[in-house]
Every structure is written in C-alpha cells, then in structure tokens.
Amino acid sequence: MIDKVEIIPLGGLGEFGMNCLAVRAGGEMLIIDVGMGFPEESVYGVDVAIPDFAALDEYRDEIAAIILTHGHEDHIGALPYILRKFNVPVYGSSFTIALAESRLEDHGLLDRVMLHRVESGERVELGVFEIEFIRVSHSLVDCFALAIRTPVGIIIHTGDYKVDETPVVDSPIDLRALQRYGQEGVLALLSDSTNATVPGRTPSERAVIPTFEEIFAEAPGRIIVSCFASSIHRQQIVLDVAARFGRRVCVLGRSMQKNIEIADRLGYLDIPVDLLVSLDEAKKLDGDQIVFLVTGSQSEPRSVLPQMATQSYKGVAIEEGDTVVLSARIIPGHERAISRLIGEIYKRGGQIYDEKRRLVHVSGHASQEDIRLMTEAVRPRFVIPIHGEYRMLYRHKEYLRRHLGFDEERVILVENGDVIELDEKRAAVSDKWPVGRTFIDETEVGFEEVDSEIVRERRQLAYDGVITPVITINGETGQLEAPPEIATHGLLGMDGLLREMKRLIAETVASASAREKSDTTLLKERVRLEVKRFIQRQTGTRPVIIPVIVQL
C-alpha cells in the first residue's frame, strides 16, 4: 500500500525561471515543467541556466512523463536537455506542444521524442497518477493547472495563472473545475507566488486596450511595439488596434514571427486579411501607415529593438517622430540594459512608453486577491508556495495566515532540493536532494554545457586578472637563459611587486629538482604555486597564473 507522496522542486524556488518540480509515489515519478532561466549573477558569456538533472539519474526508471503547464521558456526551455538524458513522454496543450516542437526541431530531437497533445478537461492516467488538465488564464494562451490524483490525495498545481474572466484570446480560467476538486477534498495546493507581494487583483489582458488606442491616435509617425514573443493576447490587441487605425503591421524577430505563425495556424490569432506586410513593403509605406511588432523588450543583444535603437536592423532604425511602446515587464537582471535601450531611443528622437508611464502592460500572474480566489476555490489542507524569489514565497504564506486563517504548519515554505513528504494528514520536509544549475552556451550553430569550473575561472579572471610568467631555460641543463619576464592583465598596483616576483621565480627555477627541470609540466606547476602564494600574501587576491616555459 502506498502511504505517502513526495514533492521535490528542482528549480524555480527562490529564483525567477528554471521552474521544474518532481512528484513521486510508489516508485513512479512525474516531472512538471522543465524551464530555463537567466542567472542574475554574471556568468561571463553564458546567458542560459537550466536545472541540474543529474539528481534524477538514479530515478530514471521511475520517470513516467513530463507534464508541461504552458509554453513560456521558464517552463519549457530546458526540454531538449532533459529529453537527451531521459526520453520519456511529454504532455501539454496544443499550443505548448507546438512551441516545444519548434525548440526540439532546433536541437534535432523532434523525430526521437513522444509528444502528446491534451485538451482542457481531459484526464490522463500515468501509473499511480491520474491528471486532469484545467484551463487557467495567463499572459500566454492554452495554459493549464493540473489536478493530480495520487494514492494519498489530490494535489493541485496552478502553473502560472491569474483570474482573468475576460481574456483577449482563449477561454477564461475554469474556476468551476477547481471548485469541484475543492468540494471533493484537496491535500495540497502548489500555487504561483510571483505576484504574492502585489495587493488587489491582476487586471485583465483587455485593460491595456484603451491605452493602445490613445497611443495610436496620438502617434504622428511610425509605431514600434515590443513585447514578449509569447504574448499572444498583446499581439492580438496590436493587430486589432492597427486595423482600426488603418495601419499595416510588420512582424520582426525570429521568435516573434515563429510564435505568431504557430498561433495563427492553430486558430488562436485572428489576423485581418492583408494586414501583415513584409519588411520591404513596410519600408515603402508612410510612417503613419505602419506598425512594427518586434522582439527586444528586455534589450536582448541580438533582438530587433536594440539593433534599431543603436544602429539599424536590416535598414530600419529609430528615427525622429517614432513612437516606441515597451509592452512588457522588466525581468530582474535586465534593468541596466533596458535603461540603456531607453536612452538610445531618446537620443534618436523617439518617444517611448513603458509600464511606468502608461498602462501598456499587465501581469500574467496572480496578485493577492487572485490568490484568495484560487485558495478559496481549492480549499486545500496544505499550501506549498512555488515560483518566485523567497520573499515572494514568504509573503504568500504571510497573506494566507493573515487573511485566510491558515495555521503556520499548513503553509510549507521550501527551497530547491527539499523533499516534501505528504500523507493524508501531514506535510513536512524529510530530506534534501543535491540540486544545482547547469549553464548552457547557446550559439547560432548549437549548444554546449559549460562546466561550473569554467564559470569559476571566468569569474576569477574578471575579478582578479591574470599573470603570465615567461621563463626561458636551457633545454639540457634546466638553467635560466634570461631573467624571467612577467605579463599582467587586469591587475592594479603590481609595479612595485614585479621585481620581487621575478626574483622569486628565478630562485624557484634554481632550486627545482632535476626531474622538475626536465618536465616542463612539473616546473610550470611549481612556479604557479610559488607565485600564487606570493600574490596572496602581498595583495590578498587570487589571479589566474599561467606560466610559460620556453626551452632553448
């Protein structure tokens, strides 16, 4: 008899992105979402991080399936990487699977994996688990909450959601289905915490329409709208308002073009006939006849808007009289880049609107009153806040205690790797898995995992610089043929130490054993250690030291 279920977050708690969570019971496991993230600390050339799936190696025979709640990159971005390790079935909505297919095709995996499309209200049995997919509202379309029936009780996973009764595209959140489970009895609610610090309700996607109409009425020339490539609601609004004001729309940016094509093919977008034009056609239109819908709301280096602001994108640049709308929130860590982008747009004479100036963006996540509605519908015995920084998880718990009367032990705050053990009456952290992150270097020609040691070396180079001693020795005797030379990069205050360092290196070579003098690898290591100890004593820094031995 199965008397417990375990929940193990592998990513997404205490951070933005990398959402991934395992549910385990009776020797079987579900993986819910496999997201990528953007590390806040600099990793010096590596922009993408994914959960470290090595923690799942010993459970590979238990993994029944991967379940995707929706298609944002912080929920599906790591799918190619986990499927290379564990080729298991994947379940998601039609739109989510279409986005996943595009990503898997880029990685050459599409023909080797099992993808299953499911509809809202559909139920799937996977071993000891039964899952019902429940429609929820979000900034993306075709999104699900999950009702997971386990041997010890029902678990509800909200995915990313807000309570939007009037979405622009797709059906509203299915609160009745959630209430049905609440009446039956829910053991645990895993609930989105991203906006747990925000009072009130999150506005409907329709709330931005009046502002867009005002901007389109006021704009004297070209309009450039930048939003997330996955913001299908926002894209439909731009298309509708552009048509009403007699403007054509030119879509720029590979991800934006791809997502709009998918949404149009699946019937989520309603695009008026002849509204879309190519870039060549757009260049021939007057400024008050065109809208550019572009990528780059986060000022990503290779995206369209930053290129238009700093140089040109295929012959199109920001000009005097342009109106630029940043219709997206700022992802933490991108503040400086976006600030520079805004400055460049102003330099070129563009007028810019962002969410601080006008209502051009609404969140896709539940604010406090949405959290109340979700929790009251589900009526769970336990709540486990997920998705977001720890302060958000804490505020989620605080809100439930103060406003919904939850006792301390009914709201479980956990971190990545914590093993939450639940039975019919109890929930507690029973163990800790060693989980971390894997850095990925994605390029135009492929991808490569970046070892944590390489990241450490890059950080060390950035903070402490590099010292290169160049030592010329006689190949037969091992004696110095010339005084040592030292090249330094990225270090301050070294001028007074170079003479002492050269003397130290000469003494080290002179005192080296015959074996060390005959083996340049051993001699390099001996010199490196002596210089390392000297620099640490004198400056307290830890530069990278790369000795070079020249034999004559």
Pairing type for strands 427-432 and 437-443 reads unpaired
Please report where in the chains the tokens 């034999």 appear, as a residue. Answer: 551
**pLDDT at residue 332, as a whole number:** 75
> 441 a known binding residue?
yes
> 47 a known binding residue?
yes
**Nearest CA among 344, 257, 338 for reference residue 300:** 338
Lowest pLDDT segment from 235-249, 272-286, 350-364, 536-550: 536-550
Examine the pLDDT at 39 and tell me if it is beyond 70.
Answer: no
Whether residue 248 contacts residue 291, with contact meaning beta carbons closer than 8 Å, is answered with yes
Rounded mean pLDDT, 190-197: 97
* Helix and strand numbers, DSSP H then E, in the chain: 16, 26
Examine the pLDDT at 40 and tell me if it is beyond 80.
Answer: no
**pLDDT at residue 451, as a whole number:** 60
**CA-CA distance, 361 to 238, in Å (whole number)?**
12
- Three-state DSSP state, 80: helix
Q: Is 270 a catalytic residue?
A: no
From the candidates 174, 192, 370, 418, which is the catalytic residue?
Answer: 192
Triad 370, 374, 379: Cα angle to 5°: 145
Examine the pLDDT at 19 and tell me if it is beyond 60.
Answer: yes
From the candidates 52, 142, 322, 365, which is the catalytic residue?
Answer: 365
> 157 a known binding residue?
no
**CA-CA distance, 128 to 158, in Å (whole number)?**
21
> 70 a known binding residue?
yes
Q: Kindly state the helix (H) or strand (E) to which residue 469 belongs, with its residue range.
A: strand 466-473
| pLDDT tens-digit map of 391-418 | 999 999 999 999 999 999 999 999 999 9
Triad 9, 90, 386: Cα angle to 5°: 25
Examine the pLDDT at 43 and tell me if it is beyond 60.
Answer: no
> 396 a known binding residue?
no
Lowest pLDDT segment from 73-77, 419-423, 424-428, 509-513: 509-513
Taking all residues of the chain, what is their mean pLDDT, rounded to a whole number?
91
**CA-CA distance, 203 to 140, in Å (whole number)?**
15
Rounded mean pLDDT, 47-55: 87
**pLDDT at residue 342, as a whole number:** 94
- Three-state DSSP state, 134: strand
**CA-CA distance, 442 to 17, in Å (whole number)?**
17
> 74 a known binding residue?
yes
Q: What is the CA radius of gyration of the chain?
A: 28
| pLDDT tens-digit map of 452-472 | 666 666 666 667 788 888 988
Examine the pLDDT at 99 and tell me if it is beyond 60.
Answer: yes
Examine the pLDDT at 446 and tell me if it is beyond 60.
Answer: no
pTM for this model (two decimals): 0.84
187: buried, middle or exposed (CB in 10 Å: 19+, 13-18, 0-12)? buried
- 493: pLDDT confidence band, cut at 50, 70 and 90? low
**Nearest CA among 258, 360, 358, 352 for reference residue 305:** 352
> 142 a known binding residue?
no
**pLDDT at residue 403, as a whole number:** 96
- Three-state DSSP state, 43: coil
- 250: pLDDT confidence band, cut at 50, 70 and 90? very high
Enumerate domains of the chain plus CATH numbers: 5-201+363-450 (3.60.15.10), 205-353 (3.40.50.10710), 465-551 (3.10.20.580)
Pairing type for strands 351-353 and 323-326 reads parallel
Examine the pLDDT at 188 and tell me if it is beyond 60.
Answer: yes
Please report where in the chains the tokens 């004001």 appear, as a residue. Answer: 245
CA dist 107 → 104, 259, 460, 545 (Å): 5, 17, 32, 37
Q: Is 192 a catalytic residue?
A: yes
Rounded mean pLDDT, 262-291: 95
- 449: pLDDT confidence band, cut at 50, 70 and 90? low
**pLDDT at residue 544, as a whole number:** 84
Rounded mean pLDDT, 180-200: 97
Spatial neighbors of 145 by CB under 8 A, at least 6 apart, are: 69, 133, 134, 135, 136, 156, 157, 158, 159, 161, 178
- Percent of the chain at pLDDT above 70? 94
